[in-house]
């Protein structure tokens, strides 16, 4: 199905890639259906794009990229709510804020997004651990990671392949510019 988005133009999304947030995200309770867009840029940032609202998308990133020791501990009732037995069949993302001064960017470690890769249901879960920050400054950690790995294209491909093995399919939106969008429209 074709989905219109403000940032990426019109994208073709497979029904099986649609992620359902039955409770929405905090502050966005009305938006239930999303999909993940991979713009394929070096920042490793993906977008959780709303289907219900073309203008709403959240930049997200896998926390293991900037915080290898980050551990999500879910209560049994939370696992149940996602029909999960453990996190081995789930994807974990953190929501990013990217202010004008990008070095002040932060990730929400307190309330990660957990996706059941099989059922494609997802929730933003507020973790009980009081040490976790809602706005964890991680620019330097991201920079370190990217300096070490991002120039290495093979590494990037591996990240994508790994994602696919876990069952997360992202919609590729390479070279998103006004021009490519127009071309896509023309082809369609």
| Interacting residues toward other proteins by CB under 8 A | 7, 25-28, 39, 41-43, 45, 56-59, 75-77, 95-100, 102-103, 105-106, 108, 110-111, 124, 126, 128, 134-135, 142-143, 146, 176
CB 43 within 8 A of CB 37: no
User: Could you tell me the smallest distance in angstroms from the CB atom of residue 76 to other proteins?
Assistant: 6
Residue with smaller CB distance to other proteins, 33 or 166: 33
- DSSP states of 79-137 as a string? HHHTT-SSGGGEEEEEEEE--SSGGG-EE-SSS-EEEETTT-EEEE---S-TTS-SSEE
Question: 121 — phi, psi (to 5°)?
Answer: -95, 150
User: Could you tell me the smallest distance in angstroms from the CB atom of residue 48 to other proteins?
Assistant: 9
Residue with smaller CB distance to other proteins, 91 or 124: 124
User: Could you tell me the smallest distance in angstroms from the CB atom of residue 145 to other proteins?
Assistant: 10
Q: Give the separation between CA 84 and CA 115, rounded to whole angstroms.
A: 10
Residue with smaller CB distance to other proteins, 108 or 116: 108
Residue with smaller CB distance to other proteins, 103 or 179: 103
Rg (CA), the chain: 16
Residue with smaller CB distance to other proteins, 35 or 58: 58
* Strand partners for 58: 48
User: Could you tell me the smallest distance in angstroms from the CB atom of residue 109 to other proteins?
Assistant: 11
Q: Give the separation between CA 111 and CA 73, rounded to whole angstroms.
A: 11
Buried-state track 89-109, b at ≥16 Cβ within 10 A, e below 16: bbbbbbbbeeeeeeeebbbbb
User: Could you tell me the smallest distance in angstroms from the CB atom of residue 97 to other proteins?
Assistant: 5
């Amino acid at each position: 199905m074709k989905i219109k988005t403000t940032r990426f133009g019109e994208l073709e999304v497979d029904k099986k890639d649609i992620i359902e947030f039955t409770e929405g995200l905090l502050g966005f309770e009305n938006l239930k259906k999303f999909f993940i867009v991979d713009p394929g840029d070096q920042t490793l940032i993906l977008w959780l794009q709303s289907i219900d609202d073309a203008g709403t998308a959240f930049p997200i990133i896998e926390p293991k990229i900037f915080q290898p020791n980050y551990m999500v501990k879910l209560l049994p009732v939370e696992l149940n709510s996602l029909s999960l037995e453990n996190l081995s069949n789930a994807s974990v993302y953190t929501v990013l804020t990217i202010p004008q001064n990008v070095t002040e960017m932060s990730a929400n470690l307190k309330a990660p997004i957990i996706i059941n890769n099989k059922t494609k249901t997802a929730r933003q879960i507020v973790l009980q651990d009081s040490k976790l920050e809602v706005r964890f400054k991680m620019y330097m950690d991201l920079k370190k990671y990217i300096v070490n790995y991002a120039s290495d294209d093979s590494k990037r491909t591996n990240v994508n392949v790994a994602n696919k093995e876990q069952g997360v399919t992202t919609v590729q939106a390479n070279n998103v510019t006004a021009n490519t969008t127009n071309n896509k429209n023309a082809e369609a």
